[in-house]
Amino acid sequence: MRAPSLRDRSHRAGASFATLAFAWIAPLAISALCLSCRYDPVPQEIIDDLGPETGSPSAQHRPGQPCLACHSAYAGAKPAMAFGGTVYTTDAAGGLGPAAGVEISIIDWAGVPKKVCSNLAGNFYLEKADWKDPAFPLVVKAGSSPMTSLIGRDGSCGSCHKPADPDGPAVHDPVSGANFDSAGKIVVDVSDTSKCGAGQ
Amino acid sequence: MSEQRRPSARRSPIAIALLLGASALLVVVGVAGCRDDLNGRVTNACPSQTVFESSVSPYMERRCGTLDCHGGIARPMRLFGRLGLRHPDEDNIPGGKATTKVELGANYASVCGVEPEKMNDTVANLGNTADELLMIRKARGVEKHKGGKVVDEADHADNCMLGWLRGDQPATVEAECAAAIAALQ
């Protein structure tokens, strides 16, 4: 059997280098491709429109915003949420302030009941780990106020209970900000506050 | 100096005929495409507007027309109503005044316009192909539907929509839709 020549060895070394490079580059390329595939313009636009964080992320941050825009499989913010929103009540000056200690009860279409309390910012949420697959539509009650409509598919209260579009028709409910395409902020009676939880 | 004839310049009668035929076809297609019918109207039938507005729309508004579903301004088969999206030309808010005539008319146009030709066929064959419509297939979960399965075959809600599509007696449709609404409350 012939001993490998210098040229053969050089060729093999080149091939090994190419194999090694391919072994590194291919997974990197695939990862980059997968990351770019993750981009979804619809949720991304919602996230971008929320603006920057004003404090540090906590259970009390970003009241009134659609929680699941970020606390979702797409954006990956922790904890992943199944449901979340913010409740308000009228303050002494007649304005709106956070409603703490309000019990929010939710029943899904399979009859599974869930309860959660609002914190000091008025925020409330249920983690995905505690409610993996709610059966929509949901029936919701905030304090003593039942929601007039069902929730069809969105666990973010803030998606529908949103501030009025400044470019849209005039606001028709000066308290909640409800408009033709917005249910306005969730406003509960002041007697519904401090009924549950200590709030965080 | 001798002339040399290029072989490619030769055309057989069959090739010439094919070329002429293809040219004629192109001209015909081109002329057909330029027909001045941009303002033409096609009228497709849709089942009773009266029955839809009095019976079917109230069910669909409640079950399908929430702000996060077909009550979304950008959603296909957009539905207006008291419990969801309000007509932007009117001064109403979700949860406020009852669904208006303008909104009911818009809902009818919206549902009829999802598949106008198929809806036309459904009217023509008295509802025999109603279960092929997207509004039924999606509601039943046969077709992919972001809102999931909404009705079971032959339940009150299914009968409410199918009864309207089949042209059943208004009282029958009304009873089915009322039962479907009651189940949501």
Place of tokens 């609404």: B181
Tell me which chain B residue has its CA closest to the CA of residue A179. B93
Least confident of A118-122, A154-158, B24-28, B83-87: B24-28
Least confident of A45-59, A151-165, B24-38: B24-38
Tell me which residues of chain B, numbers 81 to 110, contact chain A at a CB-CB cutoff of 8 Å. Answer: 83-88, 90-96
Neighbours of B170 (CB within 10 A): 15
Q: State residue A165's pLDDT score.
A: 77
Confidence band of B168 (pLDDT split at 50, 70, 90): very high
- Indicate if the pLDDT at residue A192 is higher than 50: yes
Q: Nearest to residue A122, comparing CAs of A156, A88, A146?
A: A88
Indicate the length of chain B as a whole number.
Answer: 185
Query: Do residues A113 and A105 touch, judged by C-beta distance below 8 A?
Result: yes
Evaluate the omega torsion of the peptide bond into residue A166 and state whether it is cis, within 30 degrees of 0. no
Least confident of A1-5, A17-21, A60-64, B9-13: A1-5
- Indicate if the pLDDT at residue B6 is higher than 60: no
Q: Is pLDDT larger for residue B3 or for residue B119? A: B119
**Rama region for A110: left / alpha / beta (φ>0; ψ in -120 to 50; rest):** alpha
* Cβ within 8 Å, pair B148-A136: yes
Integer-rounded Cα radius of gyration of chain B: 26
Least confident of A77-81, A173-177, B58-62, B90-94: A173-177
Confidence band of A1 (pLDDT split at 50, 70, 90): very low
Q: State residue B115's pLDDT score.
A: 97
Residues of chain A neighbouring B60 (CB-CB closer than 8 A) = none
Tokens of A132: 């993996």
Q: Nearest to residue B157, comparing CAs of B132, B170, B134, B140?
A: B140
CB proximity A43 to B under 8 Å: no
Catalogue the long-range contacts made by B118-122 (C-beta closer than 8 Å, 24 or more residues apart): B119/B44, B119/B45, B119/B46, B119/B47, B120/B44, B120/B45, B120/B46, B122/B47, B122/B165
Task: Report the distance separating Cα B180 and Cα B38, nearest Å.
Answer: 42
Tokens of B156: 């009150």
Q: Which residue(s) pair with A86 in the sheet?
A: A123
Tell me which chain A residue has its CA closest to the CA of residue B81. A180
- Indicate if the pLDDT at residue A7 is higher than 60: no
Q: Residues B110-153: pLDDT tens digits?
A: 999 999 999 999 999 999 999 999 999 999 999 999 999 999 99
Q: State residue A91's pLDDT score.
A: 85
Tokens of A164: 């009025």
Task: Report the distance separating Cα A188 and Cα B106, nearest Å.
Answer: 33
Residues of chain B neighbouring A137 (CB-CB closer than 8 A) = 63, 66, 184
Task: Report the distance separating Cα A107 and Cα B173, nearest Å.
Answer: 29
Q: Is the dihedral of CA A69, A72, A77, A82 positive or negative?
A: positive
Across the interface, of B68, B83, B85, the residue whose CB is closest to A148 is B83
* Cβ within 8 Å, pair B67-A184: no
Q: State residue B41's pLDDT score.
A: 85
Q: State residue A22's pLDDT score.
A: 65
Q: Residues B9-55: pLDDT tens digits?
A: 456 788 888 888 888 888 776 666 665 567 788 899 999 999 999 99
Nearest Cα of chain A lies from the Cα of B100 at a distance, in angstroms, of 13
Task: Report the distance separating Cα A67 and Cα A81, nearest Å.
Answer: 8
Q: State residue A178's pLDDT score.
A: 94
Least confident of A49-63, A162-176, B2-16: B2-16
Quote the mean pLDDT of chain B.
90
pLDDT over 90 percentage in chain A: 65
CB proximity B73 to A under 8 Å: yes
Give start and end residues of each alpha helix (H) in chain B.
13-33, 49-51, 57-63, 101-112, 116-124, 134-140, 156-166, 170-182
Query: Do residues A175 and A129 touch, judged by C-beta distance below 8 A?
Result: no
By DSSP bridging, strand A113-117 and strand A186-187 are: unpaired
Tokens of A59: 């259970």
**Rama region for B59: left / alpha / beta (φ>0; ψ in -120 to 50; rest):** alpha
Query: Model ipTM?
Result: 0.78
Q: Residues A131-150: pLDDT tens digits?
A: 999 999 999 999 999 999 99
CB proximity A155 to B under 8 Å: no
Q: State residue B22's pLDDT score.
A: 84
Residues of chain A neighbouring B85 (CB-CB closer than 8 A) = 180-181
Confidence band of A10 (pLDDT split at 50, 70, 90): low
Contact pairs from chain A to chain B, CB under 8 Å: 73
Query: Do residues B157 and B183 touch, judged by C-beta distance below 8 A?
Result: yes
CB proximity A169 to B under 8 Å: yes
Confidence band of B1 (pLDDT split at 50, 70, 90): very low
Per DSSP, the three-state class of B140 is: helix
Q: State residue B30's pLDDT score.
A: 66
